[in-house]
């Protein structure tokens, strides 16, 4: 009976560890997809978790539905890129250029767009909770609402469309 219990317990433990490893692999970054995207390829629905695209010129790329959680987009140029429905939560977009970028329905929770240029970027239904736009240029942003901005923060240097305000990051 002890042997049967030990074998059964070991079987359960192995199954549990296997499930955790599979889940972790599914959630971790995909080095191949990151390399292709960094090289300039479109990558819709890709797993780009913690990808480093800092200083990259990726204009007009399709990242719709991609997982860019904790990605480094600092000082990148991503003008006219499509981030529709993408997860950019906790991403670092410091000083990035996102002219005419599409953030429709994107999750920008706790992302840092400090000093970023977002001229004519589309924020329809984007989640901005906890996002920092200190010093960012949003004055020509499209479909940006006061309700969205109330969940984000900025500073006296943040440029916004007429009539909109943003809480101070303090």
How confident is residue 8, by pLDDT bands cut at 50, 70 and 90? very low
CATH of the domain at 89: 2.160.20.80
For residue 28, give the DSSP letter.
S
> Taking a C-beta distance cutoff of 8 angstroms, is the pair 32, 10 a contact?
no
Among 26-30, 57-61, 71-75, 120-124, the range scoring the smallest mean pLDDT is 26-30
Of 3 and 30, the structure prediction assigns the larger pLDDT to: 30
Number of independent structural domains in the chain: 1
Residue 147: strand, helix, or coil: helix
Supply the range of the domain harboring residue 24: 1-170
How confident is residue 2, by pLDDT bands cut at 50, 70 and 90? low
Please give the average per-residue pLDDT across 23-31, as a whole number: 63
Nearest in space to 156 (alpha carbons), one of 145, 164, 167, 146: 167
Query: Would you state the torsion angle of the CA atoms of residues 132, 135, 139, 142, taken in this order, to the nearest 10 degrees?
Result: -30
pTM, full prediction: 0.84
Mean pLDDT of the chain: 88
């Amino acid at each position: 009976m002890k042997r049967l219990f030990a074998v059964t317990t070991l079987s359960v433990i192995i199954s549990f560890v296997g499930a955790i490893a599979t889940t972790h692999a599914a959630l971790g970054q995909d080095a191949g997809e990151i390399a292709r995207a960094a090289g300039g390829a479109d990558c819709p629905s890709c797993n780009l978790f913690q990808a480093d695209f800092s200083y990259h010129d990726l204009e007009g790329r399709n990242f719709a539905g991609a997982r860019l959680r904790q990605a480094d987009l600092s000082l990148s140029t991503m003008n006219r890129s499509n981030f529709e429905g993408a997860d950019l939560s906790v991403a670092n977009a410091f000083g990035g250029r996102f002219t005419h970028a599409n953030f429709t329905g994107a999750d920008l929770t706790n992302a840092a767009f400090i000093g970023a240029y977002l001229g004519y970027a589309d924020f329809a239904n984007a989640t901005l909770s906890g996002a920092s736009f200190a010093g960012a240029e949003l004055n020509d942003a499209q479909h940006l609402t006061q309700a969205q901005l109330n969940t984000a923060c900025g500073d006296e240097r943040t440029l916004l469309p007429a009539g909109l305000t943003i809480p101070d990051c303090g």
